Amino acid sequence: MKIALSILLLLLPSAAVAEPIKRPPRDAGFAISLSEPVLRSQPDIRVYDLDLFDAEPSTIAALHAGGGYVICYFSAGSFEDWRPDVAQFPKHLLGKAYAGWPGERWLDIRERDELARILGARLDLAAQKDCDAVDPDNVDGFANPTGFGITIDDQRAFNLWLAEAAHARRLAVGLKNAAELVGDLVEHFDFSIVESCAAQDSCAAYQPFAARKKPVFQIEYREETRDWASVCRGAAQRGFTAIRAGLALDGTAETCPRP
């Protein structure tokens, strides 16, 4: 009887076996809205990137109901003085101003233990809102004037921690920019979101994601893009999904025609 019971238990579904983390679909269209968070389902768009704090659960639910996949954006490597959790950040973690973005300052990501509580709460919020994935921004402080001595090794360790923390909450996670770290991190991140790679002639750095059938969402800015048709041809050759948007990322964008 004990043997039969053991066999039965083995055949039953186990609550301890987690569902695989769901990556965003490839070749499915991409829209991003960080300054105007109300996005509705759009024809030929299945992947939506919304601001974590601004996105309402009802908006996320509606996008899901329309067959959408929802990525939730937050800054992991910078402090923004308009966020609801600003009081949680110790002052000694705040570095130089982020050029061009008033109210934003770089964070000392070397102090991972102190940031873990704050960023962990943001990841919890993403899970509570039923986001499918997260888009943690500004994870390339090592290549910027932060006011701290952040090395590429420091950044690699921090980004790996972010990926593990997201996965622990069953959230997929994208690598934002950080071209120099793609080789080290491509196996740990589920997709990539890159800005201005055509304008900066750096798109080839993200090819390892596409080579592993992981989506690459390429954002080019109208203020920088001259030959949009050429950008689209390059994206198609690489297997990237490319859009052209304004710097405000207000949900309006041109999408490359599908091949």
Q: Name the residue with tokens 């950040």.
A: 89
Residue at 7 is within a domain: no
Query: What is the pLDDT confidence band of residue 40, given thresholds at 50, 70 and 90?
Result: confident
In a domain, 14, yes or no: no
β-pairing, 94-97 with 30-33? unpaired
What is the model's pLDDT at position 7?
41
What pLDDT sits at residue 37? 62
* pLDDT of res. 18: 66
- Tell me, yes or no, whether 131 lies in a domain: yes
- What CATH number should be reported for the domain holding residue 146? 3.20.20.70
Question: pTM (2 decimals)?
Answer: 0.91
Instruction: Read off the pLDDT band of 195 (50, 70, 90).
Output: very high
For residues 55-77, give the mean pLDDT: 96
Q: With cut-offs at 50, 70 and 90, classify the pLDDT of residue 257.
A: confident
**Tell me, what's the pLDDT at 20?**
85
* b/e per residue 127-146 (b: at least 16 CB within 10 A): eebebbbbbbbbbbbbebeb
Q: ∠169-170-176 over CA atoms, to 5°?
A: 90
**Mean of the per-residue pLDDT values for the chain?**
92
Residue 10 lies in a domain: no
| HSE, side-chain direction, 13 A CA sphere, residue 5 | 2
Residue 11 reports pLDDT greater than 80: no
Residue where the block lists tokens 């960023």:
119
What is the percent of the chain with per-residue pLDDT over 70, rounded to a whole number? 92
Number of domains in the chain: 1
Confidence of residue 258 (pLDDT cuts 50, 70, 90): confident
Label the pairing between strands 172-176 and 191-195. parallel
Spatial CA neighbour of 217 closest among 238, 248, 240, 190? 240
pLDDT tens-digit series, residues 216-243: 999 999 999 889 999 999 999 999 999 9
Question: Do the beta carbons of residue 72 and residue 39 sit within 8 Å?
Answer: no
Ramachandran category for residue 27: left, alpha or beta (phi over 0 → left; psi -120 to 50 → alpha): left
Does the residue 5 lie in any domain?
Answer: no
What confidence category does residue 39 fall into, taking pLDDT thresholds of 50, 70 and 90? Answer: confident
Cα 145 to Cα 148: distance, rounded to the nearest angstrom: 8
Quote the percentage of the chain above a pLDDT of 90. 84
Q: Is residue 1 part of a domain?
A: no
- Of the candidates 32, 29, 35, the residue with the CA atom closest to the CA atom of residue 67: 29
Whether 214 is covered by a domain: the verdict is yes
Task: Decide if 18 is inside a domain.
Answer: no
Asked if residue 14 has pLDDT above 50, the reply is no
Q: Which of the two residues, 145 and 44, has the higher pLDDT score?
A: 145
- Residues 200 and 221: their CA atoms lie apart, in Å, by 11
pLDDT digits (tens, 9 = 90+) for 95-107: 999 999 999 999 9
In which domain, by residue range, is 67 found? 23-255
Least confident of 32-36, 90-94, 109-113: 32-36
Stronger pLDDT, 3 or 29, i.e. the higher one: 29
User: pLDDT value at position 226?
Assistant: 85
